[in-house]
Amino acid sequence: MVNKPSPELTKRQRRVLQALEAFVLEHGYAPTIRRLGEELGITSPSAVFKHVRSLERKGYLSREAGGLRLAGRPVAAAGRVRVPLLGPVPAGWPRESFDLPGETVDVPEWMVGRRAANVFCIRVEGKSMIDAHIDDGDRVVIERTDTAASGEMVVARLDDGSVTLKRLRRENGRILLVPENPEFAAVEVRELRVLGRVIGVLRKY
């Protein structure tokens, strides 16, 4: 019998689950107990293991061949790939961060190809990219990368920790994050961290 994830998590359990989700998103594989403890700032492996066991009992995790696996994620439908769903990410004014809710979404296999391990999906909030056919509530498929060419649409983290979805422009030594809506102004930044670039859009009508 497969456990079904329960929403009843303590704050610490939710923090452990989010740290695990973030690690998988960044590296493409699950951390060891010791590495998860390093990510959480917990020095005792037994304390980390206690939280992992609690998450396992509640159906959020499973252990296979000595490793951790995110549970409650059935196999994606044929021709589709299951990727993490994050968000919302503002397509408007930058916001402090984006959430790691532990959800997933199926995307067409042809859209991601062999890049599946480096792909995630975001839930868009706002209308600053409407002229690029990205509307409020759309799910945008992102390839994880820390570089992008001028003209590409990117998810970027700014120096203040805020995150936004915009088109990257490099002009005469300037770095601009440009909206696709004349009602919004471009944001000029001195430094930014590219979290990924847009490779597709999913929409329900």
What the chain holds in terms of domains, given with CATH numbers, is: 11-70 (1.10.10.10), 80-202 (2.10.109.10)
pLDDT in tens, the chain (205 residues): 344 444 577 888 888 888 877 776 556 567 788 888 898 899 898 898 898 888 888 887 776 655 666 665 444 455 678 888 887 787 766 665 566 556 788 888 777 777 777 888 888 888 999 999 899 988 899 999 999 999 999 999 877 778 889 999 998 889 999 999 999 999 898 888 898 999 988 875 5
* Active-site residue (options: 44, 62, 127, 166): 166
- For position 73, what pLDDT does the model report? 44
Task: Give catalytic status of residue 166 as yes or no.
Answer: yes
CA angle 26, 28, 34 (to 5 degrees): 80
Q: Which residues pair with 174 in a beta bridge?
A: 171
Query: Which residues, 6 or more positions from 132, have their beta carbon under 8 angstroms from its beta carbon?
Result: 153, 167, 180
* Active-site residue (options: 46, 50, 54, 128): 128
- Tokens representing 13 are 């359990």
Distance CA 52, CA 45 (A): 10
Nearest to 71 by CA among 21, 34, 107: 21
Distance CA 185, CA 198 (A): 20
- For position 186, what pLDDT does the model report? 92
Task: Give catalytic status of residue 6 as yes or no.
Answer: no
- For position 13, what pLDDT does the model report? 86
